Amino acid sequence: MVAKLPADQGAEGYQRGLGTRQIQMLAIGGTIGTGLFLGAGENIAKAGPSLILTYAVAGLAVFFVMRALGELLTYRRTEGGFAGYAREFLGPFWGYATTWTYWIIWVTTGMAELTAAGQYIQKWWPGVEQWQTALVALLVLFVVNLISVKLFGELEFWFAMIKVGAIVMMILVGIGVLVFGFSDAGDTARVGNLWDHGGVFPEGAGATIMTLQMVMFAYLGVELVGVTASEAKDPEKNIPRAINALPVRFALFYLGSLLVILAVVPWTAFKGGASPFVLAFDQIGIKGGGDIVNFVVLTAALSSCNAGGLYSTSRMLRTAGVNGDGPKVLGRLSERGVPVLTVVISALVMGIGVVVNAVVPEKAFGYITSVSTGGALLVWTVILVAHMIYRRRSAAGELPKSPYRMPWAPYTNWLVLAFFAFVTVTIAWEADTRVALYVMGAWVALVVVGWPFVRRSSRVEPVKVPVAEESASA
């Protein structure tokens, strides 16, 4: 039985339960996840200080993807965010394929975050198995997502606040160590650590390039701003504001934190499985600092699993039901405006990550993140291509122009697409990450095979009133 929707729900049936501060913090939290808190440690061990340059280049590419998505979102809102634009500009098949691909991306990413949570817990309780922690975390977040989007947004707000506070504290403490020389790391902490131990590229340019896969995974989640548009208050203002702030956030949270950490602690001190934040605080010698940061990075993993793993996957599954790309029952909402069935399905599938952690705990994180990165590249590519088609049609006068424009399109579209192709080559280069291409190839085959079964019910995205015109009429 489908519940009657309250008056404050939007056209998609969702409640407008996410306010300005929650959208802003969701945008911030989407750019800070396990890829930075855990994955950066392994990449520092591989490439040294040159990793900072990799984060800068990848961040620029992702920013242009978000500007393209922002232009589409301010042209008009649509069910399913970028999946709706894929449907409108590329056709029903691409809407269907994008919906399900984004779902599988975040299901696997949720598995990665659960894996990371298990590794963090082992710092305190080495005897606890990774899969046990993963299971408990999944059950807690599952309950939160069943209650209401408002509770989800509030929990994610505080998760993001903890992450932001930790990074700012790390940067301030690190600067204090470098300037005043206090702490146990005071004798060895210096800016020269960024180039003194073999140079900026100590392992060569090839090693730096091979970190791209994990670096791109670190940025996965920034596109959640597009998914939240259906449940956001005043998205015409809040979404462009959140996207415009991304360069500052990237510079502070990724580049700033890594610069400080690698100046305080030489890159040679890092090992693959260690969080750079935990290691830095341990080396500085602040009493309890390592435990505090370990709590923060655990929070980051739970945050990403909450926002992406359960929230976005359940919304994408609901989009499949609404658009006819899956059983209609997936489109049902509870009285609180929550797609309960899709939350349950996503949580059950994410439970596979618990099994992976039990079988191959030492390789679980690498396997899962490589699959997530491969899928993310596919989705980001669809966003860029849909944007180019929209630009061409708006330039021809067929569609209204968005007030929020992507700079230098379509040249920036093509440059970023070329960069994504290059990243795909790096994924294929190593055996441990190459598994992602096998998995994604199997996934593409599955999507193609499933299309004939949903083609008749999959609808073409209807033309709706653009956001700019809605605002004007209001």
Q: 15 — phi, psi (to 5°)?
A: -80, 140
Measured torsion, CA atoms of residues 208, 214, 216, 219, in degrees rounded to the nearest 10: -120
Q: Taking phi first (over 0 means left), then psi (-120 to 50 degrees means alpha), and beta for anything else, what does residue 465 get?
A: beta
- Using alpha carbons only, what angle is made at residue 378 by residues 375 and 384, rounded to the nearest 5 degrees? 145
Contact 439, 100 (CB under 8 A): no
- Percent of the chain's residues with pLDDT above 90: 20
Supply the pTM of this predicted model: 0.83
| d(C-alpha 182, C-alpha 179), whole Å | 9
What DSSP designation does 15 have?
B
How many C-beta atoms surround the C-beta of residue 66 within 10 A? 25
DSSP state of 330: G
Tokens 């500085």: give the residue.
284
Q: What mean pLDDT is reported for the chain?
A: 79
Q: What is the pLDDT along the chain (474 residues), one digit of tens a residue?
A: 333 333 334 445 554 545 555 666 665 665 676 667 766 888 888 899 999 999 999 999 999 999 999 899 888 876 667 888 998 999 989 989 988 888 888 887 777 777 777 777 877 888 777 777 778 888 888 877 777 666 667 777 777 788 888 888 888 988 988 888 777 776 778 899 999 889 999 999 988 998 888 888 888 877 776 666 555 566 677 778 878 888 888 888 889 989 999 998 889 888 765 678 778 877 787 777 778 877 887 887 777 777 767 777 887 888 888 888 888 888 888 777 778 888 888 888 887 766 766 665 566 666 666 777 788 898 999 999 999 999 999 999 999 998 899 999 999 999 999 999 999 888 888 776 787 788 888 888 999 999 988 877 665 544 444 444 444 433
Report how far residue 318's alpha carbon sits from residue 322's, in angstroms, rounded to the nearest whole number: 6
Q: Using CA atoms, how far apart are residues 296 and 298, in angstroms rounded to an integer?
A: 5
Beta bridge mates, 15: 9
Number of other CB atoms surrounding residue 410 within 10 Å: 17
